[in-house]
């Protein structure tokens, strides 16, 4: 697993995954339901892209996001040990 700490690293990783799957940018865009320009910008490391669409691309590539080093989260989206309810 490669740590991702910048938009450019994410773009590089997603480009590599797309190429490994032998998909073109238009094919990936169609599979993810986004425009080709979005794929181009994402792979270039543009930092202001819509997260919802980034997640759609990751899903279309068969990937998922795991967060490490953060506090655990209960299944109901509440932080473990959080008594504040917000």
Q: What are the boundaries of each domain within the chain?
A: 7-60
Q: For domain 7-60, which CATH number applies: 1.10.260.40, 3.30.360.10, 2.70.98.90, 1.10.3210.10?
A: 1.10.260.40
Q: How far apart are CA 79 and CA 72, in angstroms?
A: 6
Token pair, residue 86, equals 């917000």
- pTM here? 0.81
Q: Output the DSSP codes for 27-73.
A: HHHHHHTS-HHHHHHHHTT-TT--HHHHHHHHHHTT------SS--B
Q: What is the mean pLDDT of residues 54-79?
A: 84
Q: Is the pLDDT of residue 85 over 60?
A: no
Local structure of residue 22 (DSSP, 8 states): T
Rounded to whole angstroms, what are the CA distances from 2 to 45, 50, 66, 84?
A: 16, 22, 11, 35
Q: What is the mean pLDDT of residues 11-16?
A: 97
pLDDT at residue 77, as a whole number: 53
pLDDT tens per residue across span 14-64: 999 999 999 999 999 999 999 999 999 999 999 999 999 999 999 999 999
Q: How far apart are CA 55 and CA 32, in angstroms?
A: 9
Per-residue confidence band for 78, with pLDDT thresholds at 50, 70 and 90: low
């Amino acid at each position: 697993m490669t740590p991702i700490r910048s938009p450019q690293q994410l773009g590089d990783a997603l480009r590599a995954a797309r190429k490994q799957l032998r998909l073109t940018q238009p094919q990936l865009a169609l599979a993810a339901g986004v425009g080709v320009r979005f794929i181009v910008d994402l792979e270039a490391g543009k930092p202001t892209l819509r997260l919802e669409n980034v997640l759609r691309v990751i899903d279309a590539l068969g990937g998922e996001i795991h967060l490490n080093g953060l506090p655990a989260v209960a299944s109901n989206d509440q932080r473990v040990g959080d008594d504040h309810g917000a």
